[in-house]
Chains A and B, each alone.
Chain A
């Protein structure tokens, strides 16, 4: 019985969503609002069940836990956050958000530096020489050298494409330095390749999703038909 209900529900929801190709309609809107409600409800419940209760409110029942600053510091900040509407507390209402933003900014900067900027620059700055040494033997690896060159050129020119700094000139539209423009043109080609790959990947992923639904509907219809 549960399987039948699940199949019927899944069938209805799939058809409702796909009906959007015919234009915005009642079925699609119901499905969209259902999705928002389910997602928000699940999110709120998980936030309570997985974070707020075990990390904050549940621990408040344990007196020894009050010695841990990781209990009362967030509690104070949460109270400040909730007490935004109270005039006396509104003076400090931006403190929790400032704390969160400062923390997130530091985490983002530290992570970007150590996890992306340095490793990716190091990955680009590789030897372009075709002569390689491996366990004492010297050999030519033209393919790797060429690939490294292409990656170097592509990375630098793509970055140049995103360079919009310009020096204002009297009576003329600000323009990039003369040497950036040709680099940016080359970078545009590499960007086109990257976006082409992204497009193909997104298409493949969405086709897989569509297959999941079409096969599901096909199975339901197959069950219903004799």
Chain B
């Protein structure tokens, strides 16, 4: 066979390829250990020809029977000859390169400590003794006594050197990992070997009196670190004439289901509950045996961690990892994150208890969190995973897995916080807020009284707008950009009407345009509302409705280059004033640009595309209060891009006052649209402030009560 299947993605690759062409996974081992699948012989049990389905799986690189063989360290059977060529070659190379000093015992066997039954030594035979006092390392754990120092990973050497310097027990010649190997402490987690076991030892598991998950409810990866002696059927002793048939898989599944249904509690929960009371012996034994397990602090010290834990050191780093290597995680400020109205899948993982709760993504429960326990997923009858190839477990991998297991089994990380109950949504909260606001708004209308003072301070930008309009030339049109949505029309129409009233009072011609589809209608609505006071503004005479300008910034740039061509490109209606139409052939002919915008990005686009093309034409912005903070930087400058601003309802009210200011009394004269909304606005803002204050006060009281309760409990 010319192809080598990738152990990760299962796709065929050239035999000589170092890495997978598709997923970049390494195809050949980098360490000095055994080659992948060197001992993974796809042999049928008992040397009998494998059934068809098994052959197919084998062709796909399935490790099922081979896995058993590999782990059990069985000698090669005659059917090894049937193995494919590439496998044989790899095996040969592995035999040549294997540092294993134990002859027939494969590295994987050493790693898992299952190649030979652990020798009992007292009541807790596997965990109590260290490497030196119990099991002969060379016999039980060949890997534990590495062939040479060169075989060790770099980080382990550094750790040893450091411990030697510090005079810790770890400086003893005994290597760090023998005991874990012998005792089973160093077993890799479930994800490292479970597929092998599931597939290869199906009959074994079925024959076992202890079903999966029955070891005190511990997770399977914890159960693996139990003393191997009580295991009734070590893998090695399994009669090799037990092919893993589909029936065996089914029975295993059933057994698994039975185990789960008996418990009704997911393994992880049980382990979380029991971790404090009954720590697993193997894990607990780690810290107590200084020669075996270095302290976590040391493991995490800079320079000690293995290469695979350090960024960029992987020979074939995943692309995403490489992309994110130089970036710190971008997060919103926590106080802003807390404002999110919806608790969805974006909930931060750091919050206690939330990580464990699934958010349902489909069905009638969609969007709800934690309504179904995670075990449901495990109970669903699934086909056992088919691995594309034999796992390439080398000494380095085993050591890394052991380290990882130790890290994740530290009390800090093992402690699974109790799932916090999310407060129920308050369906009436919105209604209460709405009722308060509506009540506040209708009070002035019902009482007919006006108790709110008009703005005493007219903002500088509003005054500048008025001054600029006062000085407009009357022979050139003012460009009115109606660039707001209908949603903002309540606020912006009030402000625009106040300014347009001023423009029409001085008699400046107007041309309107919009980059919003609904803009032409809103412009017409504005003009219709002013027509009663200014009937001389008719379409084509003092007012040119230029219509809609498509494609956002592209359209605006085209408009800046040639307004007439951009919006019309055809002959003007005959009724239109020819002088005004002629002025539309260059954007520099506008007397000023008056942008009415609800979105600061729209104003920004006008500045970037139009004002930069004709900087001599002043630009005035009428913006929503919501857009003010992001629009103001363009105004607050030594060389401002925006020469005047009217902001929101307050700006509209101030401008109305300026329009109809009685010089004698200094009071606002003719009330406008903004004035009619001024009292409800004052009441509504007071109501909103009140709601926020009550909310703040309630939160303070709540926290006080909680802390008092906590104190009394203590």
Contact = CB atoms under 8 A, between A and B. Distances in A.
A129 interface: no
B628 to A, nearest CB: 5
A150 B628 CA distance: 19
Given A54-B568, A115-B612, A210 B437 contact: yes
A103 B554 contact: yes
B550 interface: yes
Interface string B18-49: 00000000000000000000000000000000
Contacts of B311: 168, 170, 174
Contact of B638 (A42, A123, A164): A123
A212 B490 contact: yes
B488 interface: yes
Nearest to B155: A171
A175 B552 CA distance: 39
Interface string A10-42: 000000001001110000000000000001001
Interface string A208-226: 1111101100100000000
Nearest to A18: B434
Interface string B303-315: 1110001111100
Nearest to A206: B626
Contact of B442 (A174, A202, A214): A214
A151 B635 CA distance: 14
Interface residues of B, number: 83
Interface in A146-168: 151, 164-168
A115 B607 contact: yes
A137 interface: no
B488 A115 contact: no
Nearest to B488: A205
A114 interface: yes
Contact of A107 (B328, B554, B598, B648): B554
Given A23-B427, A214-B680, A166 B569 contact: no
Nearest to B309: A171
A198 B570 contact: no
Contact of A111 (B302, B303, B608): B608
Contacts of A201: 624-629, 648
Interface in B672-703: 676-677, 680-681, 684-685, 688
A58 B305 CA distance: 72
Contacts of A72: none
A171 B310 contact: yes
A89 B329 CA distance: 44
Interface stretch (B84-92, B122-130, B330-338): B330-338
A180 B649 CA distance: 40
Contacts of A176: 328
Chain B contact residues, majority secondary structure: helix
Given A111-B609, A215-B680, A46 B626 contact: no
A114 B614 CA distance: 12
Nearest to A194: B629
A192 interface: yes
Nearest to B518: A42
A82 interface: no
Interface string A174-203: 111000000000001001101101101111
A122 interface: yes
Chain A contact residues, majority secondary structure: helix
A188 B333 contact: yes
B4 to A, nearest CB: 32
A97 interface: no
Contact of B310 (A54, A170, A214): A170
Interface size class on chain A is 35 or more
B611 A115 contact: yes
A91 interface: no
A83 to B, nearest CB: 21
A103 to B, nearest CB: 6
A120 interface: yes
B649 A164 contact: no
B191 interface: no
A226 to B, nearest CB: 16
Contacts of B638: 122-123, 126
Interface string A88-130: 0000000000001001100110011011100110110010000
A205 B626 contact: yes
Nearest to B683: A211
Contacts of A18: 434
Contact of A120 (B303, B437, B633, B685): B633
Contacts of A111: 553, 557, 605, 608-609, 612
A59 interface: yes
B326 A205 contact: no
A146 to B, nearest CB: 14
Contacts of B639: 119, 122-123
Interface string B656-677: 0000000000000000000011
Contacts of A76: none
Contacts of B609: 107, 111, 115
A151 B517 CA distance: 37
A170 B312 CA distance: 9
A194 B631 CA distance: 12
Nearest to A202: B626
Nearest to A118: B612
Among A18, A119, A120, A218, chain B packs the most CB atoms within 10 A around the CB of A119
A23 B426 CA distance: 11
Contacts of B641: 115, 119
Nearest to B678: A211
Contact of A205 (B605, B625, B640, B688): B625
A168 B626 contact: no
Contact of B684 (A120, A164, A195, A211): A211
A142 interface: no
Interface in B292-329: 300, 302-305, 309-313, 325-329
B607 to A, nearest CB: 5
User: Shortest 4 CB-CB distances between A and B: which pairs?
Assistant: A115-B608, A111-B608, A123-B637, A212-B490
8 contacts: A22-B427, A22-B431, A39-B517, A39-B518, A46-B518, A120-B634, A207-B681, A209-B491
